[in-house]
Amino acid sequence: MTDNSVLLEKRGQAFWITINRPDKRNALNAGVIAGIAKGYREAHDDKDVRVIVLTGAGDKAFCAGADLQNSGAAFSMDFSRPNVDYADLLRLSQSATKPAIARVGGVCMAGGMGLLCMTDMAVAADGVIFGLPEVKVGVFPMQVLSLLQSIAPSRLVNEWALTGEPFDARSAQAAGLLNYVVPAAELDAKVDWLIGRIVDKSPTAIRRGKYAMRAIASMSFDESIAYTESQIALLAMTEDAKEGLKAFGEKRKPTWTGR
């Protein structure tokens, strides 16, 4: 079951998922995790949605990690289950075929770093602070590492995880966690600009391309080149590819059907 802890809203061709617990620094609980997962599923079920935007309500926090107000609930486990809901959310994000943007307007810590890493692109306000403070409360950013280690340099990941000390937005950008860092007043405009650079492109190419990027991530060169040469042949047979080439020849904007 979900509640109003996550707001789902379609804005044009963008599907916005907003963590709505500003009084709790948009901390993660069962409702938030379920709500984000619901948003991802709804976005993929709607053929008109071209991009997902993940953000947090207010300007204080994107997501401060697990809700520690009830620490027993935050770290309670059903040991009969081999998986946990937060891990399942990260799995869901990695199988997604629609691009996602993180709009980071406030602090991004612990499990919030996992939410940041599960998106394809990220824009942050220049005053945002990031971090993996789990060691300060006797745990470790285990699940976050599954995504973070493929994005940021290992020496930096080591420092962040082992010291638990925070770092600023410019450091996050330099490490590869962010595409853009802008003044807070320009955050929405930059996100809208990035959305615009996605929705005018072929949805078929993006969908199949994301699928391929995920597939080849752990392949050797020989495996990935064989896989991708077959994928480009399949992609060339789609209606979007045919329309794109025709529009190029006719010097006009393509009309994408997403097929």
What digits encode the pLDDT tens for the residues 43-89? Answer: 999 999 999 999 999 999 999 998 877 554 555 556 656 678 999 99
Angle at 168 between CA 19 and CA 186, to 5 degrees: 60
Angle at 201 between CA 198 and CA 202, to 5 degrees: 125
Q: Are the C-beta atoms of 95 and 214 separated by less than 8 Å?
A: yes
Average pLDDT of the segment spanning 106-123: 97
Residue in this structure with the two tokens 């078929």, named with its chain if needed = 204
Tell me, what's the pLDDT at 76? 58
State the Cα–Cα distance between residues 238 and 234, nearest whole angstrom. 7
Tokens of 69: 């107000």
Q: Are the C-beta atoms of 75 and 130 separated by less than 8 Å?
A: no
Q: Would you say residue 1 has pLDDT above 60?
A: no
- Cβ atoms within 10 A of the Cβ of 173, count? 17
Q: What is the mean pLDDT of the chain?
A: 93
Output the pTM of the full model.
Answer: 0.91
